[in-house]
Structure 1
Amino acid sequence: MDRFIDVAPGVRLWAEDHGAPDAPPLLLIMGAQASGIGWPDELVGLLAAHHRVIRYDHRDTGRSTWAFDRQPYPITTLADDALAVLDAFGAERAHIVGMSLGGMLAQLLIADHPERLLTATLIGTGALSTAPWTHPDGTRIPPGELPGIDPRLLELWSRPVTDQGPEAEVERRTDHWRLLNGDRLPFDPEYFRALERRVIEHTGDHATNTAHAQADPSGMLRTEHLARTTVPALVVSAPAEPVYPPPHAHHLAQAIHGAHLVEIPGMGHALPPEVHAPLATAILAHTAGR
Structure 2
Amino acid sequence: MTAAPPSIERRRPVNGVEIAWDSFGDPAASPLVLIMGLGAQMVAWDDAFCARLAEAGGHRVIRFDNRDIGHSTHLSHLGVPDIQALMLQAMAGKPLAVPYTLRDMADDCIGLLDALGIERAHIVGASMGGAIGQEMAIHHPQRMRSFTSIMSTTGDPALPPPTPEALAVLFSPTPLTFDAYLAHYKKIWRVLRGPGFPLDEARDAERAQLIFLRGLNPGGVARQLAAVFASGNRKPALRDVRVPTLVIHGDADPLVPVACGVDVADAIAGAKLLRIPRMGHALPISMWPQIIDAIAAHTGQLRDH
The TM-score normalised by the length of structure 2 is 0.83
- 1:28/1:158 CA distance change after superposition, 3 Å: closer
Identity score, percent: 35
Equivalent residue for 1:46, pick from 48, 52, 57: 52
Q: In 2 relative to 1, CA 283–82 (structure 1 residues): closer, same or farther, beyond 3 Å?
A: same
Q: One-letter code of the match for 1:95? A: H
SS in 2 for 1:32: coil
More helix by share: 2
The unaligned stretches of length 5 or more in structure 2 are 1-6, 80-98
Instruction: Give the alignment's Cα RMSD to 1 decimal.
Output: 2.0
2:42 to 36, 39, 49: 36
| Letter aligned with residue 11 of structure 2 | F
The one-letter amino acid of 1:156's match is V
Q: Secondary structure at the match of 2:239?
A: helix
C-alpha displacement of 1:162 = 4.2
Alignment match of 1:69 (pick from 77, 98, 111): 77
Residue 115 of structure 1 and its aligned partner are, at CA, apart by: 0.5
Match of 2:30 in 1: 24
Equivalent residues in 2 for 1:65-214, closer than 5 Å:
65-70=73-78, 72-128=99-155, 143-163=156-176, 165-183=177-195, 185-186=197-198, 188-201=200-213, 203=214, 205-209=215-219, 210-214=222-226
Alignment of structure 1 residues 223-262 onto 2, 5 Å: 223-262=235-274
Aligned amino acid, residue 185 of structure 2: R
Give the whole-Å Cα distance in 1 for the aligned partners of 2:122 and 2:173: 38
1:210-221 to 2 correspondence within 5 Å?
210-215=222-227, 217-221=229-233
Structure 2 Cα separation of the partners of residues 54 and 220 of structure 1: 28
Change in 2 beyond 3 A, CA 1:27/1:104: same
Q: 1:75, 1:216 within 8 Å by CA — same for their partners in 2?
A: yes
For residue 31 of structure 1, give the secondary structure of its aligned residue in structure 2.
Answer: coil
Q: How many residue pairs align between the two structures?
A: 272
> Structure 1 residue 244: deviation in Å?
1.3
Show the counterpart of 2:65. Answer: 57
| Gap change, CA 1:162 and 1:82, over 3 Å in 2 | same
Per-residue deviation, 1:286: 0.4
Kept after mapping to 2: 8 A contact 1:184/1:267: no
